Structures are given as C-alpha cells and as structure tokens.
C-alpha cells in the first residue's frame, strides 16, 4: 500500500475508528444542545477520545510537528484508503494510487478553504453594511428628535 509499514498498520488499525469518528460527528451535528444536553456531553467526550487516538498515532508517525495536524493527516490517509477499498472490492491501493487520492483530497480542501474565506469576507461585508445602516438610522433619529 505505502512504503511505510507503520502507516500501513495504522491504516488497518484505524479503519473502524475513522468510521466511528465520522459517525460521532454526524450525531453531534444532529443533536439539539438544549433538549439533549446529557447526550451531547457524552458524545463530545466520545468524539474527543476518538480524535485523540488519531492525534497520538499521527504524532507517533511524525506526520506533522503539530499534534492536531498530525492526527488530521492520518485521518485523511485512513479515510482515503477506506474509500479506495470500498470502491475496489477490498483491494489495497498502491502507493501511487493512494498519493493520487490524497492529492485530490488536498485540492478539495483547498477549494473548501477558498469558499469558506469568500463566505467569511461576505459576512464581514454584511456586518460593515449593517453597522453603517444602524449608525445612519440612529443619526437620522437623533436629527429628527433634535429638530422638534
């Protein structure tokens, strides 16, 4: 699969935890934090444990000096191996095939980042415009009250 037996073993060991992590994230996204407070607290703890497993293993593999990024990098590789295996009836990808899949994931993440930055800037513009509207209407009200 790869040229790193430790990474290959991590992909095997963490295949189920990767699926479980995504399931937990989906559950947390659907929980009402007001009505289901105890459930969301429990899921948050489960989610932290699942993420920590990837952070520790990614750090051990020295995928990145930052623990959080090392864990996310390992999760990316494990998920890409899983996608490949599901699409190809359980066959393991070659190192080149896995590299191509991860490269595609990098391109998708870069596009998502660009979209998020654009949405953020538009939201900031909306805030500035709303601030100007609030200031202008306050000024108009002040003027109207002063001229009575």
Q: What is the pLDDT of residues 59-69, one digit of tens each?
A: 999 999 999 99
Please name the residue that has the structure tokens 């699409």: 87
Whether 31 and 41 have beta carbons less than 8 Å apart is answered as no
Question: How many angstroms separate the CA atoms of 101 and 98, rounded?
Answer: 5
Cα angle: 109, vertex 114, 116; to 5 degrees: 90
Q: What is the percent of the chain where pLDDT is above 90? A: 95
How do residues 90-138 score in pLDDT, each as one tens digit?
999 999 999 999 999 999 999 999 999 999 999 999 999 999 999 999 9
- The answer for residues whose C-beta is within 8 angstroms of residue 51's C-beta and 6 or more apart is 21, 71
Token code pair at residue 105: 């994931």
With cut-offs at 50, 70 and 90, classify the pLDDT of residue 140: very high
Question: How many angstroms separate the CA atoms of 115 and 43, rounded?
Answer: 29
């Amino acid at each position: 699969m790869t040229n790193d037996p430790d990474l290959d073993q991590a992909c095997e060991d963490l295949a189920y935890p990767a699926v479980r992590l995504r399931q937990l994230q989906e559950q947390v996204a659907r929980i009402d934090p007001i009505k289901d407070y105890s459930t969301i607290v429990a899921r948050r703890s489960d989610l932290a444990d699942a993420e920590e497993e990837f952070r520790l293993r990614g750090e051990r593999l020295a995928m990145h000096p930052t623990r959080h990024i090392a864990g996310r990098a390992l999760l990316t590789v494990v998920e890409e191996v899983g996608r490949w295996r599901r699409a190809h009836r359980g066959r393991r990808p070659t190192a080149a095939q896995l590299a191509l899949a991860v490269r595609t994931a990098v391109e998708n993440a870069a596009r998502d980042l660009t979209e998020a930055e654009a949405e953020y800037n538009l939201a900031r513009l909306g805030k500035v415009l709303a601030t100007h509207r609030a200031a202008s209407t306050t000024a108009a009200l002040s003027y109207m009250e002063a001229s009575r």
